[in-house]
Structure 1
Amino acid sequence: MLRPAVAIPFVAVALIWGSTWFVIKGQIGPEVSAHWSVAWRFALATPAMFVLAAIMRLPLAMPRRSHGLAALMGLFQFCGNYSFVYLAELHLTSGIVALLIGLMLVPNAILGKLLLGEPITQRFILASAVAIAGIALLLVNEAQVAPIDGNVALGTLLALVAMLAASIANVIQAGPAGKVVPLVSLLAWAMLYGTGLDFALAWAIDGPPVLPTGTAYWLGTAWLAVVGSVVTFPLYYDLVRKLGAGRAAYNGVLVVVIAMVISTLLEGYKWTPLAIGGAILSMAGLMVALRARQVPEKTAASPSR
């Protein structure tokens, strides 16, 4: 689990995604709706992903069932997940949304077991409980020190739906239909389908497209599209295939802590004893999960012939 081929992309994805929560907040405002911000993000990311596939000399032709999988990934990950995340940030602080998305480790593990047959060990369950306790403390602290504006119940519901949508995409891409094609090719098509859905949804809800004029907006969109999407998704989905859906989702726990550090530096986030305790518990759960066996010890000791 700690070999460079896993540790380096794990940390890189966490560092990048930890920064995106701060950037996303600046993409939502009176000038452009949340739906159109998502659409513009993936309108930039999609051609960049196809270019990456071309640079890597990967074939873009896929069997029909892989296109079906790509369409589902586009629906759940690049349309559903991000649409609900951006909408949630209209009602909650970015830190709280990050905390709620960090709980994805639970549905990832459950879906991984149901759909992929990935085992859930007792150590993983213990690590999840510790990490969830840490996230809960961070959530309570965030609510206390940063009063929330907007509809809290609605924002929480939107964030949880976003988490479940991402979890479904995480798990289904690791199945047989996804493994028969190059990951970057699959992601390129998934983003294309997702972008089409994003544009249709934005136009249906908010009317014709609006092009923001601010330089900061487009710089933020470019960062989210190229670095926060094209660079990270191939790395992250490869981690799902190597680590399993449950443990790969622990990346979200590290993302939460990084997001809090960025908030400390750029937004004046105040660390209280409650927040420190939550961060320590979250990281402790992360380390226990990374050292847990992929297969229960009884199964590992008696392999089938």
Structure 2
Amino acid sequence: MAAGRTRIALAIATLTVIWGTTWAVIRIGLEGIPPFTGVAARFAIAFLFLLALIRQRKIPLGKQPHEVKLWFLNGLLAFCLTYGAVYWAEQHITSGLAAVLFATFPLFVAILAHFLLPGEPLSFWKLTGTVLGFAGVAVIFSEDLTLVGGEKAYLAAGLALLAPPACAITSVAIKRWGKAIHPLSISGIPMGITAGVMSAAALAFESDRTVVLNTKSISALLYLAVMGTAVTFSLYYWLLRQVSATGLSLIAYMTPVVAVLVGTQFMDETMTPRTWAGSGLVVAGVALASLAARARKPA
């Protein structure tokens, strides 16, 4: 049991650290690669990476109930819609604002889980902790919350807000109906679907845009594809079998804190009183929501 808890803790830490860096890396990649093209390439590389693992491990595909349906749900909602919206939005809004908008994800998960997952009722303290965590993220990025850029900025913010409920729907659906599906199947095959759909979107909407491939854009693409997609989503869907959907969603609050810490260590940024206060709210919110969830479990 202790070993199991250690593996879970390491997996959560890995997700938090990697996803804490991806918002900024997406912005770097967008300097050379248009959004839909970037999403298509990212998920194509991740798909090939995981497909090699699936074949090497001889993992059966499409054998579990609802598996094919969940492939398409995950690919179209959690990957195509979410990343298409986020990539396009980050051309017109700051990565900080995008992170705050996505931080509504745990709220959507908590509400959906209350109705669809019998073991995850939405208690007062769980809701309080979830709202507190969101407030912390908003405080951290409070200086980035202004919309500059006119109508496109408002459209970008609106599109970015489509991502959290889309991800919440798929996470709760997979938690309820996909427990028997191998994590490499539920992550890898939808990535192939995403690569195909987003390639078509890129051809339709970005055929006249220039792709600049240099060391920076290629490095960003490879990091996002392998570490930020193939590795993280395989871990995420493995974790979804081990812990509650609501508890796992709280990672969305911790990743901005990691992003700030990375900035202070490697980009000469400073921790202001605002970021300290926001980080404290995040930690308090995550702790409160986690303790509330544990208190509901039978002894």
TM-score (norm 2): 0.89
Q: Which residue of 2 aligns with 1:181?
A: 181
Q: Which residue of 2 aligns with 1:27?
A: 29
| Pair 1:174–1:210, CA change in 2 (3 A) | farther
CA distance in 1, matches of 2:16, 2:288: 17
| Pair 1:294–1:56, CA change in 2 (3 A) | farther
AA aligned opposite 1:22:
A
Identity value in percent: 30
| Pair 1:120–1:288, CA change in 2 (3 A) | same
Whether contact under 8 Å (1:123, 1:288) holds in the other structure is: yes
Q: Which residue of 2 aligns with 1:225?
A: 225
Q: CA deviation at 1:284?
A: 1.1
| Pair 1:295–1:114, CA change in 2 (3 A) | farther
Could you give the per-residue CA deviations for residues 184-208 of structure 1, whole angstroms, max 9, x where no partner exists?
A: 1222211111111111112122227
AA aligned opposite 1:133:
A
Q: CA deviation at 1:63?
A: 5.0
CA distance in 1, matches of 2:15, 2:249: 11
Structure 2, unmatched stretches of 5+, are none
Q: Which residue of 2 aligns with 1:168?
A: 169
AA aligned opposite 1:58:
I
AA aligned opposite 1:15:
V
CA distance in 2, matches of 1:122, 1:149: 39
Q: Which residue of 2 aligns with 1:116?
A: 117
How many residues were matched structurally?
Answer: 295
1:94-243 mapped onto 2 (5 Å cutoff): 94-117=95-118, 118-143=120-145, 148=148, 151-176=152-177, 178-207=178-207, 211-243=211-243
Structure 1, unmatched stretches of 5+, are none
CA distance in 2, matches of 1:233, 1:114: 25
CA distance in 2, matches of 1:209, 1:55: 38
Whether contact under 8 Å (2:39, 2:198) holds in the other structure is: yes
Cα RMSD of the aligned pairs, angstroms, is: 2.5
Could you give the per-residue CA deviations for residues 162-194 of structure 1, whole angstroms, max 9, x where no partner exists?
A: 222222222222222x22321212222111111
Could you give the per-residue CA deviations for residues 20-46 of structure 1, whole angstroms, max 9, x where no partner exists?
A: 1111101113x4311111111111111
Identify the range of structure 1 (114-123 vs 42-51) with the bigger mean alpha-carbon deviation.
114-123
CA distance in 2, matches of 1:143, 1:129: 18
